[in-house]
Amino acid sequence: MKFRSKAAALLLLALVTLLLVLLTLCTGRAEPPAPLVHSASAPQRHPEQAPARLPGPGAFPGAGQGAQRRRPPRPRPRAGRWGAASLKKLSRRHGEAKNVRAVLPPRLWMHLAVVACGNRLEETLVMLKSAVLFSHRKMQFHIFTEESLKPEFEKQLRQWPDSYAKKFEHRIYPITFSVGNPQEWKKLFKPCAAQRLFLPVILKDVDSLLYVDTDVLFLRPVDDIWKLLRQFNSTQLAAMAPEHEIPKVGWYSRFAQHPFYGSAGVNSGVMLMNLTRIRSAHFKNSMIPIGLAWEDMVYLLYLKYKNAITWGDQDLLNIIFYFNPECLYVFPCQWNYRPDHCMYGSNCREAELEGVSVLHGNRGVFHDDKQPTFKALYEAIRDFPFQDNLFQSMYYPLQLKFLETVHTLCGRIPQVFLKQIEKTMKRAYEKHVIIHGPNHMR
């Protein structure tokens, strides 16, 4: 009897123990989740226990509206509010391609146009080379040329190394004139120079543009002159530099037989244009009481003044802005520095203070010995091997060449020509050598 009582007690004790174990399992505190470990030796979680991860944008092309309501897309900022910092962040967003060309919308690129006919192939290529050597943002080159020069442009530009070729894209256009006699336009001044008057009509998808003559060199990033577009007020739609700093000795003030802008006229070798504003504007004139569209204005002024103009398309631009002075922004001479600014004595104060930003070698001074300082700069950029060090292969040889030009008035002020290019090279050095290491300095 006692044996049965002991067995019953043991059975009861076992049942109570089992009940307590079950109760503990049901009501006990759960263990805290283990921290995420990114080590190769970390234990792998079961797929069912893996934390849910939201899919990225575009992961499910056929996703319905529910996903969009959970995470609405961010609105794209307007192009006018993009600064350098914004562009830098955009190009480095996580998960996006590092190739800025694929990231930046085309409207955020800088647009550079040039018209090259006759024997201007080499000169144009040296100008484009100076643009890519120093600039930062992507550029679109719009090259207007004769059919015979098109294959050579394509060949030469394809030979540039990838480190520079990735900084630009280019399009080549034929020479076309939408109104009037094409042969008359071609002969108006230098071959095909009048083409620039029709750029707002031809480049309908381009908002803003920098036009330069073939005989121009950039001694600092194109980005810097492009920023001047932000300084336009509500009525300004183009920008040029004065033809001369001293009106009483300027060409227009002494010889012009037609109206011209201001007291000394303007030079059109370097011209910033807001093409959108130009296409939508109606310009005052002396022929009819109502405003004319750009293309009509250009053609009617040509018909009226073609026997009085000497410098072709530049004269027509001077006449246009004589009647519409509120439309023009005048930038200082450092952005269009010509032999006139030093051959009779230095008369460009901005260049003396800040250095030459854009060098304009008109009158053929890049190719003769009349202004050896201009020729030295042209040859230094022309002969610079793309992959070489800028200081060793351009700046130091240029300083030595300048020692041979001190007998000229322009050669007596070498600091004017070297100041900006020295700053540009210093920025490139600091960026590529100090930040990224010497192997990046090219």
Phi, psi of 72 (to 5 degrees): -65, 145
List C-alpha distances in Å: 357 to 109, 118, 338.
Answer: 20, 27, 11
Q: Are 371 and 408 in contact (CB under 8 A)?
A: yes
List C-alpha distances in Å: 188 to 184, 234, 308.
Answer: 6, 32, 12
Q: Are 266 and 247 in contact (CB under 8 A)?
A: no
List C-alpha distances in Å: 359 to 105, 141, 234, 400.
Answer: 30, 19, 29, 19
Please give the structure tokens belonging to residue 152: 């050579």
End-to-end CA distance of the chain: 104
Cβ count near 144 (within 10 Å): 23
Please give the structure tokens belonging to residue 56: 């990225």
Amino acid at 353: L
Q: Are 123 and 214 in contact (CB under 8 A)?
A: yes
Amino acid at 13: L
Rounded CA separation 375/369 (Å): 7
What is this structure's pTM?
0.75
User: What pLDDT does residue 143 have?
Assistant: 98
Rounded CA separation 101/166 (Å): 8
Please give the structure tokens belonging to residue 168: 């630009």
User: What pLDDT does residue 47 have?
Assistant: 39
- 363: Cα within 13 Å, side-chain hemisphere: 12
Element of type H or E holding 141: strand 139-145
Q: Are 124 and 114 in contact (CB under 8 A)?
A: yes
The two most distant CA atoms of the chain are separated, in Å, by: 142
User: What pLDDT does residue 13 have?
Assistant: 56
Please give the structure tokens belonging to residue 37: 């470990």
Per-residue pLDDT of the chain (442 residues; tens, 9 = 90+): 444 555 555 565 566 555 554 554 444 444 444 433 333 333 344 433 433 333 333 333 333 343 344 445 444 444 333 444 444 433 333 333 334 344 456 567 999 999 999 999 999 999 999 999 999 999 999 999 999 999 999 999 999 999 999 999 999 999 999 888 888 888 787 778 899 999 999 999 999 999 999 999 999 999 999 999 999 999 999 999 999 998 888 899 999 999 999 999 999 999 999 999 999 999 999 888 889 999 999 999 999 999 999 998 999 999 999 999 999 999 999 999 999 999 988 999 999 999 999 999 999 999 999 999 999 999 999 999 988 888 888 888 898 999 999 999 999 999 999 999 888 888 776 765 655 555 554 4
User: What pLDDT does residue 120 have?
Assistant: 95
Closest of 308, 331, 315 to residue 257, by C-alpha: 308
List C-alpha distances in Å: 414 to 102, 241, 374, 408, 418.
Answer: 41, 22, 11, 11, 6
Rounded CA separation 198/14 (Å): 102
Q: Are 100 and 82 in contact (CB under 8 A)?
A: no
Dihedral (Cα; 125, 127, 133, 139), 10-degree rounding: -90
Instruction: Determine what percent of the chain falls in helix, strand and coil, rounding each to the nearest 5.
Output: 50, 10, 40
